[in-house]
Amino acid sequence: MLLVAVSGGIDSMCLAEKVRLEGGPFAIAHCNFHLRGKESDSDEAFVREWASKYGIECHVRHFETLEYAASEKISTEMAARRLRYHWFGELCKEHGYEAVAVAHNANDNAETLILNILRGTGLKGITGMKKEGSVPDPDFADIPLLRPLLDMTREDIEAFAEEHDLSWREDCTNAENEYKRNKIRNLVFPVFREINPSFIRTLNEDMKRFAEFVEAYPPETFGPSVLVPPTASGSGPLPFMKPRAATVSGGYASTNSYIIQEEKWDGSSPVIQPQGMLIMDADKAGDYFEGHWESGDWIRPLGAPGKKKLQDWFTDHHFDVEDKHAATLVKDAGNPHHVLAVAGFCIDHSVRVTAATKRILRISAKND
């Protein structure tokens, strides 16, 4: 039996109607995040009424989303996502639902791709969402997550809604540009559409090709990079990845978000750091661990005259609250507030590679 996530918007109402027309057993789940006052309550009433009309079981849960976001020091968007998927997992375990279906569509997929690229991403971050995945909660990762609308654009969904005379609720915040995703949808995509009216399908096709490549050549099968020097045209260095062999010397570690590779270095060639990769002296780094920002953290950025509060560094580089808490840090195990690297951005001056360096660490994104 399927559990379908239904907010009341056009995407989820299209999904619910498609599942209903297929005739299989299903239930729906609606989250009231209390973010839009009476509108949130009206959304809930609308979904309850639709479920009652067709005799479909409807689960509803209320969340104090803003309080949770403040307590966890995360964005409202991230808080809603965590609360939603954890509850979906609980419902599946409690009622025996075999999978969760959500209404992500081709437009959502394109937005995610652009967000990932802007944040900095590894290969997996450009492969897009999958039609079949797993619930993104560590407690319920064994539950399948389905995206039946992933090949449908917003225009396809609107056409389906009109054909089947569907009603839905409009979220007034979709027209606002407070959130990054809304900025991309409302400000960036109209420009893309002027350049290529079919850009949504184009980007989704690109992601499928990227996914085919990553499936054939998984990032974890790669070993140390062989860096190609800048070309005569001035195009800059490009990383050439070769399959990791069992005989390759040096360490290989994987954090939640980044791959850290250790290798010997003889100083015979200059160190070139491709965009998105950091290289530092392994011996100077010593014992390290992956962490996230905490009050009191500091770094001496490469080339800087002195150390700087990491909070100030974030401000200088225009990190918002969400980015700040999401940033992956490499920290000194002997001094946990000493940040050796902000993964994807910069290293501490103390771990820079010099002529005396014998071993190096390469830090590169695994996925976003």
User: Angle at Cα 72 formed by Cα 68 and Cα 74, nearest 5°?
Assistant: 95
Arithmetic mean of pLDDT, 282-300: 87
Count the Cβ atoms, other than its own, within 10 Å of residue 196: 11
Helix (H) or strand (E) holding 299: strand 298-299
Which residues lie below 8 Å from residue 281, measured CB to CB, with a gap of 6+?
351, 352, 353, 354, 357, 359, 360, 361
Of the candidates 307, 295, 297, 289, the one whose C-alpha atom is nearest the C-alpha of residue 337 is 297
- Residue 216 is predicted with a pLDDT of 72
Arithmetic mean of pLDDT, 24-29: 96
Burial (CB count within 10 angstroms: exposed 0-12, middle 13-18, buried 19+), residue 47: buried
Q: Are 333 and 341 in contact (CB under 8 A)?
A: no
- Residue 214 is predicted with a pLDDT of 75
Res. 66 pLDDT band, cuts 50 70 90: very high
CA distance 154 to 132: 20
Verdict on whether the full-model pTM lies above 0.85: no
Q: Looking at the domain that runs over 2-214, which CATH code has it been given?
A: 3.40.50.620
- Residue scoring higher pLDDT (338 or 288): 338
Of the candidates 305, 130, 311, the one whose C-alpha atom is nearest the C-alpha of residue 211 is 130
Which stretch of 41-55, 74-88, 168-182, 194-208 has the lowest confidence by average pLDDT?
A: 168-182
CA distance 115 to 121: 9
Q: Would you list the DSSP string of 73-101?
A: T--HHHHHHHHHHHHHHHHHHHHT--EEE
CA distance 251 to 285: 14
Of the candidates 108, 46, 58, the one whose C-alpha atom is nearest the C-alpha of residue 81 is 108
Q: Is the pLDDT of residue 367 over 80?
A: no
φ/ψ (deg, to 5) at 268: -80, -15
Q: Is the pLDDT of residue 245 over 50?
A: no
Q: Is the pLDDT of residue 366 over 50?
A: yes
Share of the chain above pLDDT 90, in %: 50
Burial (CB count within 10 angstroms: exposed 0-12, middle 13-18, buried 19+), residue 330: buried
Strands 277-281 and 359-365: what pairing?
Answer: antiparallel
- Residue 205 is predicted with a pLDDT of 94
- CA 155 distance to own-chain centroid: 25
CA distance 291 to 311: 15
- Residue 221 is predicted with a pLDDT of 47
Count the Cβ atoms, other than its own, within 10 Å of residue 269: 9
Arithmetic mean of pLDDT, 196-212: 93
CA distance 256 to 258: 6
- Residue scoring higher pLDDT (243 or 16): 16
Arithmetic mean of pLDDT, 233-258: 36
Which stretch of 46-50, 200-204, 266-270 has the lowest confidence by average pLDDT?
A: 266-270
Q: Are 366 and 124 in contact (CB under 8 A)?
A: yes
Place of tokens 């949504």: 200
CA distance 94 to 295: 39
How is the chain split into domains, by residue range? 2-214, 226-365
**Average pLDDT of the chain to the nearest whole number:** 84
Res. 116 pLDDT band, cuts 50 70 90: confident
Of the candidates 150, 145, 103, 101, the one whose C-alpha atom is nearest the C-alpha of residue 128 is 150
- Residue 290 is predicted with a pLDDT of 81
- Residue scoring higher pLDDT (231 or 310): 310
